[in-house]
Amino acid sequence: MSWEDQMRWHEHPAAPVDGTVLCRFDELSGDDGREVVIGAGDAPLRLLVVRRGDQAFAYVNCCPHHYIPLAEEGETFLTYDRSWMICSAHGAVFRYEDGFCEDGPCMGKSLQAVPVEQVDGVVRIKRP
Protein backbone atom coordinates (compact mmCIF):
# COMPACT_ATOMS: atom_id res chain seq x y z
CA MET A 1 0.00 0.00 0.00
CA SER A 2 1.39 3.38 -0.96
CA TRP A 3 1.79 6.28 1.42
CA GLU A 4 -0.78 8.15 -0.65
CA ASP A 5 -3.27 5.35 0.09
CA GLN A 6 -2.55 5.74 3.80
CA MET A 7 -3.85 9.30 3.60
CA ARG A 8 -7.31 7.68 3.65
CA TRP A 9 -6.69 6.11 7.05
CA HIS A 10 -10.21 4.74 7.53
CA GLU A 11 -9.84 2.61 4.35
CA HIS A 12 -6.49 1.14 5.40
CA PRO A 13 -6.58 -2.64 6.07
CA ALA A 14 -5.22 -2.00 9.58
CA ALA A 15 -7.60 0.88 10.33
CA PRO A 16 -8.50 0.85 14.00
CA VAL A 17 -12.12 0.55 15.04
CA ASP A 18 -13.86 3.22 17.07
CA GLY A 19 -12.70 3.12 20.66
CA THR A 20 -9.25 1.64 19.91
CA VAL A 21 -6.77 2.91 22.50
CA LEU A 22 -3.72 4.59 20.97
CA CYS A 23 -1.83 5.52 24.15
CA ARG A 24 -2.18 6.85 27.66
CA PHE A 25 -2.59 10.62 27.75
CA ASP A 26 0.09 10.95 30.43
CA GLU A 27 2.60 9.32 28.05
CA LEU A 28 2.40 12.56 26.06
CA SER A 29 4.25 14.80 28.51
CA GLY A 30 3.90 18.53 27.91
CA ASP A 31 3.64 19.43 24.24
CA ASP A 32 4.94 16.07 23.14
CA GLY A 33 4.07 13.30 20.74
CA ARG A 34 4.65 9.73 19.74
CA GLU A 35 4.16 7.41 16.81
CA VAL A 36 1.65 4.58 17.14
CA VAL A 37 1.93 1.71 14.66
CA ILE A 38 -1.21 -0.33 14.02
CA GLY A 39 -1.02 -3.60 12.15
CA ALA A 40 1.94 -5.63 11.03
CA GLY A 41 3.61 -6.73 7.85
CA ASP A 42 4.67 -4.53 4.96
CA ALA A 43 2.06 -1.80 5.36
CA PRO A 44 1.10 -1.01 8.94
CA LEU A 45 -0.85 2.16 9.61
CA ARG A 46 1.46 4.69 11.25
CA LEU A 47 -0.18 7.44 13.31
CA LEU A 48 1.27 10.44 15.10
CA VAL A 49 -0.38 11.33 18.40
CA VAL A 50 0.47 14.77 19.79
CA ARG A 51 -0.51 16.79 22.81
CA ARG A 52 -1.10 20.48 23.14
CA GLY A 53 -1.97 21.41 26.71
CA ASP A 54 -4.87 19.23 27.78
CA GLN A 55 -5.84 18.13 24.25
CA ALA A 56 -4.62 15.26 22.09
CA PHE A 57 -4.62 15.10 18.29
CA ALA A 58 -3.78 12.28 15.88
CA TYR A 59 -2.64 12.28 12.26
CA VAL A 60 -1.47 9.76 9.72
CA ASN A 61 2.34 9.82 9.63
CA CYS A 62 2.34 10.85 5.98
CA CYS A 63 3.45 14.19 4.57
CA PRO A 64 1.10 15.53 1.88
CA HIS A 65 4.10 16.72 -0.16
CA HIS A 66 5.50 13.41 -1.42
CA TYR A 67 3.43 11.01 0.71
CA ILE A 68 6.36 9.93 2.84
CA PRO A 69 6.50 9.69 6.64
CA LEU A 70 7.21 12.88 8.55
CA ALA A 71 9.75 10.83 10.44
CA GLU A 72 11.12 7.33 10.23
CA GLU A 73 11.28 5.07 13.27
CA GLY A 74 13.39 6.64 15.97
CA GLU A 75 13.41 10.10 14.37
CA THR A 76 11.58 13.03 15.85
CA PHE A 77 8.64 14.65 14.09
CA LEU A 78 8.59 17.69 16.36
CA THR A 79 10.63 20.87 16.07
CA TYR A 80 13.31 21.42 18.69
CA ASP A 81 11.08 23.76 20.71
CA ARG A 82 8.09 21.38 20.28
CA SER A 83 5.95 24.15 18.79
CA TRP A 84 5.34 22.39 15.43
CA MET A 85 5.30 18.98 13.81
CA ILE A 86 7.94 18.84 11.07
CA CYS A 87 8.67 16.65 8.06
CA SER A 88 12.26 15.49 8.44
CA ALA A 89 12.64 15.10 4.65
CA HIS A 90 11.52 18.52 3.44
CA GLY A 91 11.14 20.73 6.50
CA ALA A 92 7.40 21.36 6.14
CA VAL A 93 5.91 22.48 9.46
CA PHE A 94 2.41 21.59 10.63
CA ARG A 95 0.18 22.89 13.43
CA TYR A 96 -0.68 20.50 16.25
CA GLU A 97 -4.34 21.57 16.41
CA ASP A 98 -5.38 20.80 12.84
CA GLY A 99 -2.35 19.46 10.96
CA PHE A 100 -2.32 22.46 8.61
CA CYS A 101 1.02 23.13 6.88
CA GLU A 102 2.15 26.67 7.73
CA ASP A 103 5.44 26.58 5.82
CA GLY A 104 7.31 24.33 3.40
CA PRO A 105 6.72 22.67 0.03
CA CYS A 106 3.15 21.59 0.87
CA MET A 107 2.07 24.90 2.41
CA GLY A 108 -1.71 25.13 2.59
CA LYS A 109 -2.27 21.38 2.70
CA SER A 110 -2.95 19.37 5.84
CA LEU A 111 -2.01 16.09 7.44
CA GLN A 112 -4.83 13.53 7.45
CA ALA A 113 -6.53 13.91 10.83
CA VAL A 114 -7.70 10.90 12.80
CA PRO A 115 -10.48 11.78 15.25
CA VAL A 116 -9.53 10.97 18.85
CA GLU A 117 -10.95 11.53 22.30
CA GLN A 118 -9.67 11.25 25.86
CA VAL A 119 -11.55 8.88 28.11
CA ASP A 120 -10.36 7.67 31.52
CA GLY A 121 -6.80 8.84 30.90
CA VAL A 122 -6.37 7.23 27.47
CA VAL A 123 -6.37 8.61 23.94
CA ARG A 124 -8.57 6.51 21.71
CA ILE A 125 -10.19 6.59 18.27
CA LYS A 126 -13.28 8.73 18.70
CA ARG A 127 -16.61 7.01 18.79
CA PRO A 128 -19.37 8.63 16.73
Q: 24-42, pLDDT tens digit by residue?
A: 999 987 667 889 999 877 7
Quote the CA–CA distance of 102 and 46 in Å, as a whole number. 22
Could you read off the pLDDT of 108-126 as tens digits, one per residue?
999 999 999 999 999 999 9
CATH of segment(s) 3-76+112-125: 2.102.10
Percent of the chain residues topping a pLDDT of 70:
90
Burial of 11 per CB tally in 10 Å (0-12, 13-18, 19+): exposed
Q: What is the pLDDT of residue 7?
A: 54
